[in-house]
């Protein structure tokens, strides 16, 4: 839970309907009505009832607490199987609410709540505006707490001011590290987000280009290859030969590492040159 935030702000009482079923019917019920069950973080929706041979299954809160508000197919099942339906009370806290709900608790009305972030390996990076920056530590802690794969949360600071198109970052939560490993279409890339340009959102476009335009006998010039996501993936997927170039020495460093790690040294030849000189070369 974020520092300086009283636990009470995250507390929430919830009452839902439950179905008490014989154990032998649990599998069938879950299969038929999976989407109609309660889905809350850290809350089990199937609870054993001691010495009864039954289990209690919690239904989604969207149905309220009135039996006649349940979907028709569920009502029919309950009637046919003579299922006992009753209310079940829950006391929820920070661990039981979503990332979005937790952010809504700490960010005042009128300030836009961050709706997402780009993840690169174990790193999440945001682009917080001036108003959101007032709550940067709380935002970072909540995102790290609520996303299992994230160990570091960053925000971009300032604007791109250099020829290598890299950002300055501020660590909001977690480990103070900028190097990570990102998987894309089964291919792993080592990357330092503070030293090279990387955009996970371009993965689909790289897939499209590789699928539609590259063939086994092609030779590709990748003039601004970065750390090699297009070059290495094309070599792995299509056996394409690639001349891969980037002006940034740090990109060249990670490009060479990714070529070796992905066993495409016989197909991808790395360069570190100005693209104009590279073309002439």
pLDDT band at residue 3, thresholds of 50, 70 and 90?
low
pLDDT band at residue 4, thresholds of 50, 70 and 90?
low
For residue range 268-278, list pLDDT tens digits in order.
999 999 999 99
Assigned fold of 112-177? GMP Synthetase; Chain A, domain 3 (3.30.300)
User: Which tokens is 234 given?
Assistant: 């094309």
What is the number of other CB atoms lying within 10 angstroms of the CB of residue 277?
11
For residue range 228-248, list pLDDT tens digits in order.
999 999 999 999 999 999 999
> What is the distance between the alpha carbons of residues 238 and 107, in angstroms, rounded to a whole number?
48
For the structural domain made of 7-96, what CATH number should be given?
3.30.70
Give span(s): CATH 3.40.50.150, the chain: 182-190+201-280
The pLDDT of residue 84: 95
- pLDDT > 90 in the chain, percent: 85
Query: Can you state the angle between helices 136-146 and 99-106, rounded to 10 degrees?
Result: 160
Mean pLDDT value of segment 74-92:
95
Residue 185 pLDDT > 70, yes or no? yes
- pLDDT > 70 in the chain, percent: 97
Residue 80 pLDDT > 90, yes or no? yes
DSSP 59: B
The pLDDT of residue 51: 85
User: Which tokens is 225 given?
Assistant: 């290859």
The pLDDT of residue 281: 85
For residue range 13-22, list pLDDT tens digits in order.
999 999 999 9
pLDDT band at residue 6, thresholds of 50, 70 and 90?
low
Give span(s): CATH 3.30.70, the chain: 7-96
> What is the distance between the alpha carbons of residues 224 and 201, in angstroms, rounded to a whole number?
17
Helix, strand, coil percent content, the chain, rounded in steps of 5: 35, 25, 35
Residue 158 pLDDT > 80, yes or no? no
Domain 182-190+201-280 has CATH 3.50.40.10: no
Give span(s): CATH 3.30.300.110, the chain: 112-177
Residue 27 pLDDT > 70, yes or no? yes
For residue range 211-222, list pLDDT tens digits in order.
999 998 899 999
């Amino acid at each position: 839970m974020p520092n300086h935030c009283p636990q009470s702000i995250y507390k929430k009482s919830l009452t839902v309907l439950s179905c008490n079923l014989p154990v032998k019917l649990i599998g069938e019920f879950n299969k038929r009505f999976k989407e109609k069950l309660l889905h809350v973080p850290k809350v089990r929706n199937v609870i054993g009832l001691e010495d009864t041979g039954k289990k209690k299954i919690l239904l989604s809160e969207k149905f309220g607490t009135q039996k006649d508000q349940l979907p028709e197919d569920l009502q029919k099942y309950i009637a046919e199987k003579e299922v006992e339906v009753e209310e079940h009370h829950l006391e929820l806290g920070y661990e039981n609410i979503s990332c979005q709900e937790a952010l809504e608790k700490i960010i005042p009305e009128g300030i836009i709540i961050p709706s997402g972030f780009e993840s690169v390996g174990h790193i999440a990076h945001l682009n917080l505006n001036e108003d959101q920056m007032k709550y940067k530590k709380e935002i970072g802690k909540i995102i790290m707490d609520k996303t299992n794969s994230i160990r570091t949360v960053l925000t971009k600071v300032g604007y791109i001011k250099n020829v290598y198109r890299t950002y300055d970052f501020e660590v909001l939560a977690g480990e103070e590290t900028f190097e990570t490993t990102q998987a894309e279409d089964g291919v792993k890339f080592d990357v330092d987000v503070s030293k090279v340009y990387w955009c996970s959102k371009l993965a689909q476009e790289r897939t499209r280009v590789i699928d539609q335009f590259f063939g086994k006998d092609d030779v590709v010039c990748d003039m601004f290859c970065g750390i090699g996501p297009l070059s290495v993936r094309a070599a792995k997927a299509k056996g394409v030969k690639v001349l891969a170039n980037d002006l940034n020495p740090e990109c060249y460093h990670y490009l060479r590492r990714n070529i070796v790690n992905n066993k495409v040294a016989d197909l991808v030849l790395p360069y570190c040159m100005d693209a104009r000189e590279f073309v002439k070369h």
